[in-house]
Amino acid sequence: MSMTRLINRAVSVTMGPGGAPVAFQYAGGRERVREVLDTWAETGRWWEQEPEQVAYRVATQSGGVFELTFIPREKRWMLYKAYD
């Protein structure tokens, strides 16, 4: 059974030509994205002025699976979850 850890903190991300993440900083190191497993848009609670986000579930070269979100309005990346 797989577990998820909620991390939900700002992270530095390197984007590829299409805007998808290709690498990000995590736990003092650099994770390289091997594959984008899924991507989707989340509108957020618009009635509370929560910004739209683009979510990416990625597999890294080190074998990890993470969920990153990009908030276009703020030009900010968040590392949302780590899957164990």
pLDDT tens digits for range 20-72: 999 999 888 999 999 999 999 988 777 787 778 999 999 999 999 999 999 99
> What is the Cβ-side half-sphere exposure of residue 21, based on CA atoms within 13 angstroms?
33
Which residue in 29, 80, 35 sits closest to 54, CA to CA? 80
Q: Which residue has the tokens 């990009």?
A: 70
Average pLDDT over residues 13-18: 94
Average pLDDT over residues 73-84: 93
pLDDT at 45: 76
pTM for this entry: 0.88
